[in-house]
């Protein structure tokens, strides 16, 4: 993600001359970029957090206000979730006997999947070891040679990698442009299987996919629809059930993907859908068949988190929405460019890589844990600070963050 131009390291050639040289050149180049960033005091990736205290974290002896968290509803360290994880260790230990399809399935795994299916309104569900593995395995299992897979251009990297791995005809349509999607679908040969994949909430800009029109286009052209709800679970819908609830369209999505590491404070990913599809994935998806099962405390924590969502989501969502409106409104009033976001993912677009990294430095020194996002994760010229608001923030926290952003923005000439 460090993209500023740098000279070659002293011990490497300027231009690689062989495959081996190319690999080593890339390794050396990244090492040099990291070293320069650290030397210039603008490298803030991979910071080790020593303690969690609500919306605050302790980093290298300094307490900072966290604005890079995916814990949208503030469920990290929720007592019910923590107790469930501890009880699972007492009962099952810290691991399993292997992969799920052989000796690794516990009653906990079945209970978690039943809980997810109930929460998402489907027949069944499957869980994987990570959200990335979920997209990679599911897409590459559902489509293959001679099929078509169509992906929004702003989809997450895990979706893109799943499409590439599938070896299907991979077509990208313009971001949230359903007319372009329809044009691409019309090009598909008659009789081919078609899968359309989109994020529900786009992770770099915070905007929401146009689900009503997306569903209409997919049905019109006979395509199955898969939606990644990594950033919409707990965020969209009155009870946090996601984008179908947000648009009042229950059952509109064929394949519902989500993660267990954002609103749900664990690790892993899931697919919720009809029983036949889930059975197929459990016997064919390589990242499920050949990956070790989720550890018992993780599965128990995720299950408890869904139960907490059912009990507490409306109240926590009200706090989250208040915080989003407070922070986003404050940034706009200061003159920052926040793009098209309508969710807790709030991009503060500053333009150049150097300016984004300098702003990260000023914010971090001011006690705000926020990070820059640079190309190729975002288009050239749109480097940004991606600030995530959560229900753990207080109104005072929001005001403190706005003041810090104002100081940094003025110091760098981002705002007047």
pLDDT digits (tens, 9 = 90+) for 175-203: 999 999 999 999 999 999 999 999 999 99
Average pLDDT over residues 8-18: 56
Q: From start to end of 297-378, where are the E strands?
A: 345-351, 368-369, 371-373
What pLDDT is attached to residue 18? 72
1 pLDDT more than 70: no
156 catalytic? Reply is no
DSSP single-letter state for residue 104: I
Q: How does residue 7 score in pLDDT terms, banded at 50, 70 and 90?
A: very low
Buried b (16+ CB within 10 A) or exposed e, 322-345: ebbebbbebbeebebebbebebbb
What pLDDT is attached to residue 4? 44
Active-site option among 231, 282, 303, 317: 231
Q: Which residues pair with 227 in a beta bridge?
A: 198, 256
Percent of the chain at pLDDT exceeding 90: 93
What pLDDT is attached to residue 15? 66
State how far the Cα of 310 lies from the Cα of 332, in Å rounded to an integer.
Answer: 33
Buried b (16+ CB within 10 A) or exposed e, 142-174: bbeeebbbbbbebbbebbbebbebbebbbbbbe
CB 104 within 8 A of CB 244: no
231 catalytic? Reply is yes
8 pLDDT more than 90: no
Element (H or E) spanning 286, and its range?
Answer: helix 286-289
203 catalytic? Reply is yes
What pLDDT is attached to residue 114? 98
Cα radius of gyration rounded to whole Å, the chain: 22
What pLDDT is attached to residue 105? 98
What pLDDT is attached to residue 21? 84
Active-site option among 109, 262, 303, 317: 262
On average, the pLDDT of the chain sits at: 95
CB 198 within 8 A of CB 227: yes
Non-local (6+) Cβ contacts of 206 within 8 A are 339, 340, 341, 342, 343, 344, 345, 346, 347
39 pLDDT more than 70: yes
DSSP single-letter state for residue 292: B
What pLDDT is attached to residue 14? 61
Digit-coded pLDDT (tens) for 366-390 = 999 999 999 999 999 999 999 999 9
Is the domain defined by 40-75+314-411 classed in CATH 3.40.50.920? no
Structural domain boundaries of the chain? Answer: 40-75+314-411, 96-294
Element (H or E) spanning 358, and its range?
Answer: helix 353-365
Non-local (6+) Cβ contacts of 153 within 8 A are 172, 173, 174, 175
Alpha helices (H) along 44-153: 79-92, 107-120, 131-142
CATH topology of domain 96-294: 3.40.640
Q: Which residues pair with 372 in a beta bridge?
A: 385
34 pLDDT more than 90: yes
CA 182 to chain centre: 26
CB 385 within 8 A of CB 356: yes
Active-site option among 203, 261, 291, 383: 203
120 pLDDT more than 70: yes
Digit-coded pLDDT (tens) for 242-290 = 999 999 999 999 999 999 999 999 999 999 999 999 999 999 999 999 9
């Amino acid at each position: 993600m460090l993209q500023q131009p740098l000279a070659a390291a002293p011990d490497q050639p300027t231009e690689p001359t062989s495959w081996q040289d190319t690999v080593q050149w890339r390794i050396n180049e990244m090492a040099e970029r990291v070293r320069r960033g650290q030397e210039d005091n603008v490298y803030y990736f991979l910071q080790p957090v020593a303690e969690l205290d609500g919306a605050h974290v302790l980093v290298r002896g300094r307490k900072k206000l966290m604005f890079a968290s995916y814990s949208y509803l503030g469920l990290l360290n929720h007592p019910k979730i923590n107790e469930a994880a501890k009880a699972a260790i007492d009962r099952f230990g810290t691991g399993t006997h292997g992969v799920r399809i052989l000796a690794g399935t516990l009653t906990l795994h079945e209970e978690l999947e039943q809980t997810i299916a109930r929460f998402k309104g489907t027949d069944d569900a499957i869980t994987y070891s990570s959200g990335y593995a979920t997209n990679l395995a599911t897409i590459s299992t559902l489509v293959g040679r001679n099929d078509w897979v169509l992906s929004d251009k702003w989809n997450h990297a895990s979706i893109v990698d799943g499409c590439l791995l599938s070896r299907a005809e991979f077509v990208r349509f313009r971001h949230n442009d359903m007319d372009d999607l329809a044009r691409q679908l019309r090009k598909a040969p008659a009789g081919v299987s078609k899968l359309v994949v989109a994020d529900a909430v786009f992770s770099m800009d915070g905007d929401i996919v146009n689900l009503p029109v997306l569903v209409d286009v997919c049905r019109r052209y006979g395509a199955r629809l898969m939606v990644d709800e990594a950033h919409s679970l707990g965020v969209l819908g009155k009870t946090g059930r996601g984008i179908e609830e947000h648009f009042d369209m229950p059952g509109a999505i064929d394949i519902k993907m989500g993660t267990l590491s954002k609103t749900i404070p664990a690790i892993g990913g899931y697919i919720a859908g009809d029983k036949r599809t889930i059975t197929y994935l459990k016997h064919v998806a390589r990242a499920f068949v050949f990956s070790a099962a989720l550890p018992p405390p993780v599965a128990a924590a995720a299950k408890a988190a869904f139960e907490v969502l059912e009990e507490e989501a409306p109240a926590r969502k009200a706090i989250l929405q208040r915080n989003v409106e407070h922070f986003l409104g404050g940034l706009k009033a200061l003159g920052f460019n926040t793009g098209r976001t309508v969710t807790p993912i709030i991009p503060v677009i500053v333009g150049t890589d150097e300016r984004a990294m300098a702003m990260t430095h000023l914010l971090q020194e001011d006690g705000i844990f926020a990070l820059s996002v640079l190309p190729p994760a975002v288009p050239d010229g749109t480097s940004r600070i991606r600030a995530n608001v959560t229900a753990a923030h207080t109104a005072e926290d929001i005001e403190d963050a706005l003041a810090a952003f104002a100081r940094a923005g003025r110091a760098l000439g981002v705002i007047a």
